[in-house]
Structures are given as structure tokens and as C-alpha cells.
């Protein structure tokens, strides 16, 4: 498959990159190899299993999305996708399995199926996609806030634990976006905002603390970034990007005035089209 370029803006394309990277670790154990692909510490069993579960969900999503395109011969793209599904079944037996055995069901025909599915989904059902620069800036913003939350003395243990737990999830999902897409980022943001609404006493405790403005800054930045890649065609100089109503109301309840960024020139969502990416370093 040398020379073939695959879009990363759909689940089939992301699976193509994942399996291509996994083959680089074919001489070791499946557990250690997939930990490297996922960018997590092999010793952190919950993190490896969580990422493996996300990969299983991604495999199930491909035929679901492709079969919905009934006017585009979905059966042709999926004719050998059973090889991908059989390989994905090995995630349930990850511990102790050599990577060679794990990848054995995935033949060249299965890889071709991933390429066909990716081409179809990229053309007919592309997903919003944060580019590398936007993702790196958001991750850095979250990391700085985590540092500040750990240092500030005005937070009680419950509020500190809530904020740190949700910030860690937002950071992780942003870093894993090339693997699992923006949906987990959206879920992490929704859980953060929704969690505060369900626990109004935390909002009261956050009001007036040194980190409340930075926390709302992170929430607004992630919210606007997701809105921009999802609705880029509607963003103009006369209609700049704005947070969702839930985030605007949360900002009001926290006593933080919103400072909206200047809208950049509208552009389509980023689409990574490249040869398989190098695996992320564990713990990065």
C-alpha cells in the first residue's frame, strides 16, 4: 500500500493509521505494542483497556456509517471488513498475546477495505477535525490550568478534585483526537459543564477564586474550537464564533465576563492526509 494516502477525518481512516502503527511493534507483545500506539503507559492497565474499548467502538462505527450510504454500494467497501472485526475481537484477549498473533486476521484485503471505507466516508461523511496547532494550544492551556489548580489554596478538596478530574479528561481526549476523533472531546466538555450544573454548590465555591476565570477560559476555548470546525461555513466576519448557550450561562453563574476571540478567516475543517503517523510516546 506504499504511496496511498488516507484521510484521518473518519473512523476507517483512523483505524488504518492505528493498525499501520501496530505493525511496527509486531515483534513484541500486543499489550505493550498497543500501549505505544495509544500513547499510554503499559503499566497503567485501566488506560490501556479504556483505549482498547475505544478502538472496539471505532471498529463498530465504520460499518454503521458506511451502510447508511445506501446509494454508494456500501457492500463493496465492506466486503472484507470482517478481517478488521475479527482482529478487533483480539482486544478482548490483549494480555499475553504476541502482536503477530493479534494482527494475523488482518490481511491485505482487510487493509484495502479500510482504505475503501475511509475514501467513502471522507467524501460523503467527513468528521470535524481539530488541526495540530489548535490541539497543541488547547492542551497547553489545560496543562497550565491544572498546574494552577494544584497550587491555589482557596479550593476545598471536593472542588479541586472535580476540576482536576475533568481537566485531565479534556486533556486526554484532546491528545487522543487523532485516534478517536472529536466526539470524546465533546463528551468531556459536556460532562464538565453538566457536572457543574448538577452541583451548583461547586459553582458557588469557584466564584471569586483565582482559577475560575482560567477554568471558564478553557471551557470557552474548547467549546469555540469545536464549534468552529463543526460550523465553519456559518462563521463570517459578521457572525464570529461564539460559545454554546450552556457555556454562556455557566460563565454568567460563575461571575466571569466572556471575552470572545476575534473570528479567523473561515476555513474547512483540517483533514490530515498522509502516510501512517509515528506512534505517540507513552506518557506524552
Enumerate the β-bridge partners of residue 238: none
What is the CA angle 101-280-18, rounded to 5?
Answer: 40
Domain boundaries, the chain: 6-127, 132-253
Q: pLDDT tens digits, residue range 161-218?
A: 999 999 999 999 999 999 999 999 999 999 999 999 999 999 999 998 999 999 999 9
Dmax (CA) for the chain in angstroms is 60
Q: What is the pTM for the complete model shown?
A: 0.84
Whether the CB-CB separation of 261 and 255 falls below 8 Å is answered with: no
pLDDT, residue 230, reads 76
Q: What is the mean pLDDT of the chain?
A: 88
Q: pLDDT tens digits, residue range 36-69?
A: 999 999 999 999 999 999 999 999 999 999 999 9
Amino acid at each position: 500500500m506504499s504511496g496511498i494516502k488516507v484521510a484521518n477525518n473518519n473512523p476507517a481512516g483512523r483505524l488504518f493509521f492505528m493498525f499501520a502503527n501496530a505493525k511496527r511493534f509486531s515483534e513484541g507483545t500486543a499489550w505493550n505494542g498497543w500501549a505505544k500506539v495509544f500513547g499510554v503507559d503499559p503499566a497503567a492497565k485501566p488506560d490501556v483497556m479504556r483505549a482498547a474499548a475505544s478502538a472496539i467502538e471505532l471498529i463498530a462505527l465504520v460499518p454503521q456509517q458506511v451502510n447508511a450510504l445506501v446509494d454508494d454500494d456500501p457492500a463493496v467497501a465492506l466486503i472484507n471488513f470482517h478481517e478488521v472485526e475479527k482482529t478487533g475481537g483480539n482486544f478482548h484477549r490483549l494480555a499475553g498475546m504476541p502482536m503477530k498473533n493479534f494482527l494475523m486476521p488482518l490481511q491485505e484485503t482487510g487493509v484495502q477495505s479500510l482504505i475503501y471505507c475511509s475514501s467513502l466516508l471522507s467524501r460523503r461523511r467527513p468528521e470535524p477535525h481539530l488541526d495540530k496547532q489548535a490541539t497543541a494550544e488547547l492542551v497547553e492551556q489545560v496543562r497550565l490550568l491544572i498546574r494552577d489548580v494544584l497550587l491555589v489554596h482557596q479550593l476545598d478538596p471536593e472542588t479541586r478534585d472535580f476540576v482536576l478530574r475533568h481537566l485531565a479528561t479534556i486533556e486526554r481526549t484532546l491528545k487522543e483526537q487523532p485516534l478517536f476523533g472529536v466526539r470524546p472531546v465533546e463528551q468531556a466538555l459536556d460532562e464538565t459543564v453538566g457536572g457543574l450544573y448538577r452541583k451548583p454548590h461547586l459553582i458557588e465555591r469557584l466564584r471569586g477564586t483565582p482559577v475560575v476565570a482560567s477554568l471558564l477560559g478553557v471551557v470557552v476555548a474548547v467549546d469555540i474550537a469545536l464549534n468552529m470546525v463543526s460550523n465553519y461555513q456559518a462563521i463570517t466576519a459578521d457572525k464570529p464564533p461564539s460559545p454554546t448557550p450552556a457555556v454562556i450561562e455557566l460563565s454568567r453563574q460563575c461571575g466571569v465576563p466572556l471575552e470572545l476571540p476575534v473570528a479567523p478567516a473561515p476555513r474547512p475543517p483540517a483533514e490530515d492526509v498522509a502516510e501512517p503517523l509515528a506512534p505517540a510516546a507513552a506518557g506524552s
